[in-house]
Every structure is written in structure tokens, then in C-alpha cells.
Amino acid sequence: MRSLNARLMAGMLAITAIGMVLMAVISTAALRGYLMHRVDGQLQAVRKKPALARVGDSVAPARYIILNMAPDGTVRAVSGDDPDPSAALEQARRMGPGVFFDEAAGGRTFAMGGMRAVARVGPRGHATIVVAPLGEIRASLAWLIVTELLTSAVILGVLALLGRWLIRRGLAPLSRMATTAHAIASGGDLRARMEESPSEVGRLAGAINVMLGRIEQAFVARVRSEAKVREFAADASHELRTPLTTIRGYSELYEQGAVDADEAMRRISAESERMRRLVEELLELARLDKGSALTREHVDLAALARDAVADATAVEPERPLTLAAPAHLTALADEGRIRQVLANLLANVRAHTPAGTPATVRLAEHTGSVVIEVADEGPGMAPEEAARAFDRFHHASGGDGSGLGLAIVAAIAAAHGGRAMLRSSPGAGTGVRVELPRGGQVLEGVVERGQPEQDQRGQR
């Protein structure tokens, strides 16, 4: 019986049958004990009657057989023919006088074959034996057993019909769950859900629904990840093909004599450098995505911001750059990565705003985190471009970079346990905000070294 329905039905009927058998045995034994005790009490009452003092001179009480046994073993019935005394006489002759005289001395009731008896010794030295047949008791017990068997059979039959209906109704949610699970397994429709209810089966269905939801989310995330990988590979191939095509073209032009060697070498070198930067940025993103170790130490972000502003001013002296930062702002971070964030953000300002457009580098501290923000007063970005600003290989209008600058900024922020955000609108400029944890958790694979200046002074 592999079916849960059949196993439950068989188990229920087996337990019920065992319970009924035990009840029948106990009730039959209890009734027999009660009846035998009653017979023994009646025999003792008959034994004490004075009418039995002169055996043969009295009429035997109803339902009893009176026997008279001489010391030599001669026995005769003195109670008449109802009930029939032949079986009692035969049993008395078989047992012999010794047993009856001994029992008479004790005054107890005793078993006489399939009957009960009590004896006493009369004035003449004869034993008077009162025998109670047990036929009525046996008939009553047999009728009780037959009644219990018939009743048990009827109860088991009714229970089988009702139990089958109840079990099927109780297991119906499990059947529906099995059908839904089969549909999910065969058709792959992860949107299917189980029927929930307050019962145990309903709670199981709720847990399975949660699991299905997570599996569906995991599949969606995997599909999106695969799509992003394919898109990334296609974009990377496209970006790498451009400089390679240029290098090949100038090589062929040089071989054909269409350009001189200096011009060909200059363009080949420029495109090679562009391709080198692109490959390095791709490797950088791959390391950040992989979770490569950051060398985290307590660094002064204000000093890094001053260096970045100075470098940007040296590159583009005509652009007004403002630094709004405290004198010192220490955080647990990778110094090289933070310098790269500042450099990329300021490079974006130079690339996407006209010369002379003011820009501001801000540092601020919030509860448990620090904020690096680079904002300009340039033309801003359209909403659709702002929404894709951190996408890899996304080129803003008029941009000629690789499209990986802001993607690297976002990846560095995520590697530090922070995040990068962008606000921009046409005519209102663009601001990129990077939030980093000041010195909290060190992520897995992150190496921490160094101490704040005050800690070092304390140790000295």
C-alpha cells in the first residue's frame, strides 16, 4: 500500500479493530468474573439453609442439583430431574469422596468439571453437595461475544466508509499540492502557487510558496545576470573592435603607402593606448565583481580630495573647482580605490561639461558613514540618460570615453559596502554622490591595516 490514503485507512481500521478486541476481551472477562462471583455467593447462601440438614427430606432450590455422597463414595441425586443431574453424578463419581469431604471441611465453593459446587457434611456423616450448572452463564457470554463481533463488524464497515471520505477530504490539499508541483516540474511555470490555509497542510503550502517565490526570484536573477553578461560581452567586443579596426586600417594604409610612417605609428599608438585603458578597466571591473581583496586602512579622505582637486586644476586650470570639506575626515577604505573614484568623477566633469564650468567636491560625515560628492553646473543629463549612467559601456551624449568610469565608481563603492547615486536634470547640472561606511564592517576578502593617528600616538 504505497498510497498515503490506503495506509491511513488501514492503520485506522487496525487500531480500531485492536481496540474493539481488547474491549470485548475485557468486558467478557469482567462479566464472567461478576457472574461467577454471584454464583459462588448464591451457593454459599444455599449451603447455609437448614433445609439441607436432612438430605432427602427437602426440595432442592431451583437451578441447583443436590447430591448425597456416603463416605464409601456412593452418590445419588436428591434434587429431582430439573436440571438433569446425570452430568453432576458422573463428575462426582469421577472425583471421589475425598475431594468433597475436604471441600466440605473448608466450606469454600469449588469447580466441579464445568460446574460450580459447595459441600457440607450432614449429621449422618454424609456429604451434601449443592451443584450450580453454568449453562446459562456460558450462553450469556457466548451471546455477548457474538453481539460484540457483529457490532464490531458493523462499526468497522461504517468507519471504513466514513473514514475513506474524511481521509480523502483531509488529503485533498496534498493531492492539489502534488498536482501543482507536477505542473511546475513538467511545465516549468514557477508562478504557480499552492493553496494556503490555517491547517498544517496549509502552513506547509505557505512554506512551499515562499520557497517557490525565492526559486522564481533566483531564476529571474540568473536570467538577468546571463543577459547582462551577454550584453557586457557584446559591448566589450564592440568597444575593443573599434581600436583594433583602426590599428588594422592604418597598418594596411601604411603598407599601401597611403600614409607616412609617423602618422600611421601615431594613430596606431593612440589606439593601442585606448585599447590598453579599456582592457585595464575591464579587468578592474572583473576584479571588483569577483570580490578581490581591498587594502583597507584608515585614510584621511580630506587629504585625498585636496590632492584630486589639485591634480584636476593642473590638468584644466581654467575650470573653477571648489573643495568643501573638513580639515580631516578619516575612514576605513582603500586609498588607491578612493583616489580612483575622485579621479573618475572629475574626469567625467571635464569630459561632459564645457571648459570653465564650475564644479564642487564635497566631503561630509553622516551617522556611521562618509559622503563624497562631485557636482557640476553643466548642462545636466536627460532622465533616460541619468537612469543608465552607471551602466557599463553607456556613453553619454557627446562623450568619447569607454563608458566604464561611473560603472567603476559604483563597483568600488559596492566593494566598500556603500553605494553610488546620481542626480541630474537638463540645465541643473549633475552630481554624483558616493556613500561609504566610515569604519564599520570589513567585508570578506578585505585586508585591513593601519590605525588612526590618535591610536598610533596612544601606543607610542
The span from the CA of 160 to the CA of 162, in Å, is 6
* CATH superfamily membership of 294-459: Histidine kinase-like ATPase, C-terminal domain (3.30.565.10)
Domain ranges of the chain: 4-138, 200-285, 294-459
Q: Is the peptide bond before 83 cis (omega within 30 degrees of 0)?
A: yes
AA letter at 366: H
Mean pLDDT of all residues in 13-23: 92
Per residue in 309-351, pLDDT tens? Answer: 999 888 888 889 889 889 888 888 888 888 888 988 898 888 8
Name the band, by pLDDT with cuts 50, 70 and 90, for residue 396. low
- Our measurement of the distance from residue 208's CA atom to the centroid of its chain's CA atoms, rounded to an integer in Å, reads 8
Q: What predicted TM-score, i.e. pTM, was given to this entire model?
A: 0.46
Mean pLDDT of all residues in 174-196: 77
More confident call, 284 vs 312: 312
Q: Give yes or no for residue 382 having a pLDDT over 90.
A: no
Q: Give yes or no for residue 241 having a pLDDT over 80.
A: no
Q: What integer pLDDT is reported at residue 235 of this predicted model?
A: 65
Q: Give yes or no for residue 190 having a pLDDT over 90.
A: no
Q: In what order do the strands lie in the sheet with 110-112?
A: 75-77, 65-69, 127-133, 115-121, 110-112
Mean pLDDT of all residues in 150-161: 92
User: Grid coordinates 461504517 are at which residue?
Assistant: 158
Name the band, by pLDDT with cuts 50, 70 and 90, for residue 1. low
The 8 Å CB, 24+ separation contacts for 392-396 are: 392/232, 392/235, 392/285, 393/232, 393/235, 393/236, 393/238, 393/239, 396/352
Give the chain's mean pLDDT: 80
Least confident interval from 127-136, 181-190, 244-253: 181-190
More confident call, 188 vs 435: 435
CATH of region 200-285, choose from 1.10.287.130, 3.40.50.150, 3.30.499.10, 3.40.50.720: 1.10.287.130
The span from the CA of 39 to the CA of 42, in Å, is 5
Q: What integer pLDDT is reported at residue 460 of this predicted model?
A: 29
Same CATH topology for 200-285 and 294-459: the answer is no
More confident call, 342 vs 445: 342
Q: Give yes or no for residue 451 having a pLDDT over 90.
A: no
Per residue in 88-144, pLDDT tens? Answer: 899 999 898 889 898 888 888 999 988 999 999 887 888 888 999 988 889 999 999
Name the band, by pLDDT with cuts 50, 70 and 90, for residue 290. low
- Our measurement of the distance from residue 41's CA atom to the centroid of its chain's CA atoms, rounded to an integer in Å, reads 67
- Our measurement of the distance from residue 188's CA atom to the centroid of its chain's CA atoms, rounded to an integer in Å, reads 22
